[in-house]
Amino acid sequence: MKLTDALPGEHAVIYELFGYVGDTAANTNDVQENHGAVSVLERLLLSHAKVEEDLLFPRLEPHRGQMGPLAVMGEEHRRLDDLLKAAKQETDAGALKSVIDQLLELAYGHFRKEDGVLFAMAQPVLDEATLTELGDERAARRKVMVYGQGCLGAA
Ligand SMILES: [Fe+2]
Ligand SMILES: [Fe+2]
């Protein structure tokens, strides 16, 4: 599977988690409960961003001239990281909800730009064989079974 097909698949799962974190913030003032939801999001979001930063962004870097959104994507990863840290440190229920709102707004926008612009731009820049090789690397990291290729990375 090409990396540019696998990453939107990860997005689909994380969109569900965005919904859960947003619902939790809307439904409870319990700081611990909101921190718990944010912690799950942090775990998934950071591991997803690391796959992008390790496998995709460096391959696009030489084409930066054609890849204006690349710098924006990297900068948004930093800002998401900062907002996750801020949310975990916030102890006031109202202020925490406000940080979570900012976090989710940025995260939704970021995912939409990747889905709608970055991954589409990556397709003609990186050839099919490269995208498939990168997709296999992602599968090995995630220890997922790829049909017809055995269980990569689980040996
Ligand atoms: Fe990203
Ligand atoms: Fe992403």
User: Over the stretch 75-119, which tens digit does the pLDDT of each residue have?
Assistant: 999 999 999 999 999 999 999 999 999 999 999 999 999 999 999
Would you state the pLDDT for residue 155? 42
Residue 66 has pLDDT above 80, yes or no: no
Say which residues have a Cβ less than 8 Å from residue 77's Cβ, sequence separation at least 6.
49, 52, 53, 110
Confidence grade of residue 154 (pLDDT, cut at 50, 70, 90): very low
CA of 54 to the centre of ligand 1 (A): 11
Give the whole-angstrom CA distance, residue 20 versus residue 33: 12
Rounded CA-CA distance 104/131 in Å is 29
> Is 14 within 8 Å of 121 (Cβ atoms)?
no
Mean pLDDT, all residues of the chain: 92
From the CA of 91, how far away is ligand 1's center (Å)?
Answer: 27
Ligand nearest to the backbone CA of 77: 1
- Kindly state the tokens that stand for 21: 């974190």
Mean pLDDT of all residues in 22-40:
98
Prediction pTM value: 0.90
74 C-alpha to center of ligand 1: Å? 7
Percent of the chain beyond pLDDT 90? 79
Ligand lying closest to the C-alpha of residue 10: 2
Distance, CA 48 to ligand 1 centroid (Å)? 7
Per-residue pLDDT, averaged over 131-142, amounts to 95
Q: In this structure, what token pair is assigned to residue 45?
A: 């979001």
Whether residue 15 contacts residue 39, with contact meaning beta carbons closer than 8 Å, is answered with no
Taking the CA of 70 as reference, the closest ligand is 1
pLDDT of residue 65: 72
- Sorted by sequence, the CB contacts under 8 Å of residue 8 that are 6+ apart come out as 114, 115, 119
Question: For 53-63, what is each residue's pLDDT tens digit?
Answer: 999 999 998 88
- In 3D space, the residue among 10, 13, 107 whose CA is nearest the CA of residue 56 turns out to be 10
Cα 71 to Cα 110: distance, rounded to the nearest angstrom: 12
What's the CA-to-centroid distance between 39 and ligand 1, angstroms? 18
CA distance 68 to 66: 6
